[in-house]
Amino acid sequence: MTFASDVKKYADKMQLDADKVLRASVLRVFSETISATPVDAEGHKVKGVLIGGGTARNSWFTELNGTPQGLRRPPDRTGNAAMGEMMEAANRMKFGDYIYIINRTPYIHKLEFGGYPNPAKKGRKTVGGYSRQAPKGMMRLAIRRAKANIKRLIKGMT
């Protein structure tokens, strides 16, 4: 073995490690976001159209190195289709790639940031203009937890 081949071997290992950390971070943030997306057990009407329970959770679309094209998936309380697509894309990710996750459900912005009528018009699905299931959003919390975790890991390295 030469010094140059040793350096290349080490650099290749470091690249694999960086890819693993990147994939793990993306998987964690995106899976937490999907899992935390509220599910309306009965469904509800948006602009006169009945949307089934689990539509928002199952309507996250993920694309590696491009913009996701999906609009909305059928209701599924588990979000399995959204989770599967996200995992497939994230597992192919390498350092330098980018990945998008998007949800075009008409009310996703209200689920993340609030804006429901306050006081609630009927029922108890919201409080103070926010979803009772995710009053502080979904993605914002997942990102906040990921940032804290990364800071903790970096602190442990120094």
Q: Would you give per-residue pLDDT tens digits along the chain (158 residues)? A: 686 676 667 667 777 678 888 888 899 999 999 999 999 877 666 677 666 688 999 999 999 999 999 998 998 999 999 999 999 999 999 989 999 999 999 889 999 999 888 888 776 788 888 899 999 999 999 999 988 888 887 787 76
What distance in Å separates the CA atoms of residue 31 and residue 88, rounded to the nearest whole number? 12
**Cα 32 to the center of its chain, rounded Å:** 6
Q: Show the CA angle centred on residue 77, arms to residues 22 and 148, nearest 5°.
A: 30
Cα Rg for the chain, rounded, in angstroms? Answer: 20
| Structural domains of the chain, count | 1
For the range 102-105, what are the long-range contacts, defined as Cβ-Cβ under 8 Å and sequence gap of 24 or more?
102/60, 102/61, 102/62, 102/67, 102/68, 103/37, 103/56, 103/59, 103/60, 103/61, 104/59, 104/61, 104/70, 104/71, 104/72, 105/51, 105/55, 105/56, 105/59, 105/72
pTM, two decimals, is: 0.82
Per the structure, the complete domain to which residue 72 belongs is given by: 3-157
pLDDT for residue 28: 92
What distance in Å separates the CA atoms of residue 76 and residue 28, rounded to the nearest whole number? 20
